Structure 1
Amino acid sequence: MNTALLSRESDSDTLTLGILGVGNIGMVHLKSARVMANVDVLAAADAVPENRQRAERAGVDRTYEDYATLLDSESIDVAVVALPPFLHADAVERAAEVGTDVFVEKPLARSTEEADRLLEAAKSGGIAVGVDHTLRYQPDVTGVKAAYDDGRVGHVPYASMTRLNDGPLGRPPVERSPPGWALDADAAGGGSLLELGIHCFDVLEWLFGDLEVQSAATGCTLNLPIEDAATVLLRAPETGTTITLHCGSYQWEELPKVNTRLRLEGITGTISNEDYLPENFYASAATSALSNVASRVTGDEPDVFGPTFYLRAHYDALEAFLDAIRADESPPVEGTDGRRSIELAEDAYDHAARRGSEELEMPEVTSI
């Protein structure tokens, strides 16, 4: 943990934060932290001038072009790492050098090898690492977890999970190109399997314990350099559950939409996340979405909690991490959890690659 937190001269439990990266998700974390009690966002960093300006309009006094400069210049308790994946390891290593705890966007790293390097630096620096695996904080998913843990449907031989989104290109018509790293397999670490599947691996192990990848396939519905669809067959030895997982970055849904489906087929019934959606989900999400569209016309900043259902989960994940730091406890979703999800994604990529090579191997044809 951050020893600076234990040696404060005052009795205040206020935590000081720096936001590293204030693009889309970075702004969500920034605005979430700004309305939390006993949290002070001191600074933000982003290489894009427009993003720094957004942070300043949101109330941040000091902004930096480079996250390393922020870490060297500011005395902060926690750094929220919302940078592209290829910068996560470097940012955590630099935070470890100055004793700053980190809350890292998923994926924690681009590979287990990189995650190991990152976690070793954190251990050496004595800092805590939390990961924003947000699905654990959505009320529909927590509802499934509670019902399953209560034994509502008994043994679950089979489960399925689907997570879809519109991908880095956004909804058509595409008005501007996405950041270069988002379509670069090396910079991002992968496509939809790492971007969306990583959440699912985390939730499924949270439910069923350690998972084993049995088979996997990846593909592209669009002509992209990264996969935008993946299907994985998993098994949970501890519970004897077989699971199918599908994730895709190809669905151009219009809000409000629930983009995650989780279903447990038990011996005495079925548990579905749709049974635990807030009653006012569609009404409140639609209202928030319309408000955010209107804000683009008026020039106002969009509401960070609209649609509330999704963005509130980011708030809860960050708040849970900060509460753990105050209490000098381990984060509820640790760096090792983030690494484990990456390990499962790597296993799935390996299975998909083997399956692809097998399908490409054609038998030799000889004339008789």
Structure 2
Amino acid sequence: MTKKKLAVIGLGNMGRHMIHRLVPQYTDHIELIAICDRDESSLQKEAAEAGGSPQLYTDYRQLLEEVALDIVYIAVPPSLHYDVARIAFEKGIHVFCEKPLANSLEEARSLVELAEQADRIHAVHFSLPLEEPVLKMKSLLESKAIGEIRMMNLYLEFPQWPRAWQQNPWIASRQQGGYLLEVGIHWIQMIQQVFGPITHVKSEIEFPEDASKCESRVQAVLRLHDGTEIHLSGTDQREGEERMSLVIQGKQGTLALENWSQLQLGDKDAADMQPVSVNDVVSPLPILKQFIQLMNGEPGVTFNFHDGYNAQVVLEALRNPAEGFTDLVPSLRFHS
């Protein structure tokens, strides 16, 4: 089998994870032949640790022009996603992109169209719907373990933003940072996959006086296609440890996914919550494995640019509130 030629563009947390943790698992299928980051010292250091002999670039345009590729992994800041993906599609390259899909709804819509025109495989690196606790949660909901869902609460609460380990020039910016964009997008997309379309959003959002800084507080209601409401609470001033959780209140019980991976089940008043084992669940992750299967003409499970766009529709409604509920249906793209 001929190995697929991969380039990684951007060496933040996710780019480093790709070259050091994921790529080494699939060396029979892919070859890392180029890496790009504008910080040359970081580029040299990470390439040396990764091993092999990838070509090194500080300009992604030059890389995409000079290197023959099958797949590009985009892990640059959101404001650059559009340009990198656009060039890749023009070159006939498959695209695996970090979230969010783009830096605006207009860019996201255009990327969906470019992906369709290029007829290349395209995916956004959403993994939460395929994690074992979420798959178990979905199974319990389908078996009516808590009865009919009454409402949900989504908590995106942090003692500070960005976190201490998460410092970079853009992650606290209003343009392309903030916890809604960085963290909330994962939960939005997972909710869309598990519960169906979010069709209406009502949001109240507070920003610091500094116009360059991202959101501080968010209170919102996300309404599903069936009328179920999800009440969102977001802050960067939480007392104690951060909380990223979805609590689902049913007529006969409560199911909670706490801090990404801790699944809990309790009574309808959310009392006596007990951990739920997920040892019987098999996840198809990582997404890279699924992407490789698709490239090889095999079945694979990924979330494509349509899914990325639909998550961005909700994200932008949260970040740019209108009076009352915003109807998202005209903007959503429904696809098979």
TM bracket (short chain): 0.7 to 0.9
Report the equivalent of 2:272. Answer: none
1:246 equivalenced with 2:236 (yes/no): no
Report the equivalent of 2:111. Answer: 118
Give CA deviations for 1:87-123 in whole Å, capped at 9, x if unaligned.
Answer: 1010011101111111111110012211122222222
Quote the Cα distance in structure 1 between the aligned partners of 2:257 and 2:198. 20
Deviation, 1:163, is 3.1
Q: How does 1:326-345 map to 2 (within 5 A)?
A: 326-327=296-297, 332-345=302-315
Q: How does 1:37-76 map to 2 (within 5 A)?
A: 37-53=28-44, 54-61=46-53, 62-76=55-69
Query: Which residue among 245, 249, 267 is the counterpart of 1:261?
Result: 245
Could you tell me which amino acid in structure 2 is paired with residue 118 of structure 1? L
Give CA deviations for 1:213-257 in whole Å, capped at 9, x if unaligned.
Answer: 34212224796621133232112133x421112344556977xx8
Quote the Cα distance in structure 2 between the aligned partners of 1:180 and 1:226. 12
Report the equivalent of 1:296. Answer: none
Deviation, 1:278, is 7.1
Work out whether residues 19 and 43 of structure 1, in 8 Å CA contact, stay in contact via their aligned partners in 2. Answer: yes
Report the equivalent of 2:72. Answer: 79
Aligned residues: 300
Q: Secondary structure at the match of 1:76?
A: coil
Report the equivalent of 2:173. Answer: 184
Q: Secondary structure at the match of 1:181?
A: coil
Work out whether residues 102 and 130 of structure 1, in 8 Å CA contact, stay in contact via their aligned partners in 2. Answer: yes
Give CA deviations for 1:16-40 in whole Å, capped at 9, x if unaligned.
Answer: 2110111221111222122225222
Q: Secondary structure at the match of 1:245?
A: strand
Quote the Cα distance in structure 2 between the aligned partners of 1:271 and 1:90. 41
Work out whether residues 166 and 252 of structure 1, in 8 Å CA contact, stay in contact via their aligned partners in 2. Answer: yes
Quote the Cα distance in structure 2 between the aligned partners of 1:314 and 1:105. 18
Judged with a 3 Å threshold, the aligned counterparts in structure 2 of structure 1 residues 94 and 250 are, in CA distance, closer, same or farther, namely: farther
Quote the Cα distance in structure 1 between the aligned partners of 2:156 and 2:182. 10
Report the equivalent of 2:5. Answer: 16
Judged with a 3 Å threshold, the aligned counterparts in structure 2 of structure 1 residues 60 and 105 are, in CA distance, closer, same or farther, namely: farther
Work out whether residues 104 and 130 of structure 1, in 8 Å CA contact, stay in contact via their aligned partners in 2. Answer: yes
Work out whether residues 101 and 124 of structure 2, in 8 Å CA contact, stay in contact via their aligned partners in 1. Answer: yes
Report the equivalent of 2:195. Answer: 208
Query: TM-score, length-normalised on structure 2?
Result: 0.78
Deviation, 1:60, is 4.8
Quote the Cα distance in structure 1 between the aligned partners of 2:285 and 2:237. 27
Report the equivalent of 2:332. Answer: none
Deviation, 1:170, is 3.2
Quote the Cα distance in structure 1 between the aligned partners of 2:61 and 2:91. 11
Deviation, 1:136, is 1.8
RMSD: 3.0
Structure 1 residues not aligned, in runs of 5+:
1-11, 280-312, 356-368
Judged with a 3 Å threshold, the aligned counterparts in structure 2 of structure 1 residues 21 and 275 are, in CA distance, closer, same or farther, namely: closer
Could you tell me which amino acid in structure 2 is paired with residue 226 of structure 1? C
Quote the Cα distance in structure 1 between the aligned partners of 2:56 and 2:139. 42
Quote the Cα distance in structure 2 between the aligned partners of 1:165 and 1:320. 32
Judged with a 3 Å threshold, the aligned counterparts in structure 2 of structure 1 residues 64 and 102 are, in CA distance, closer, same or farther, namely: same
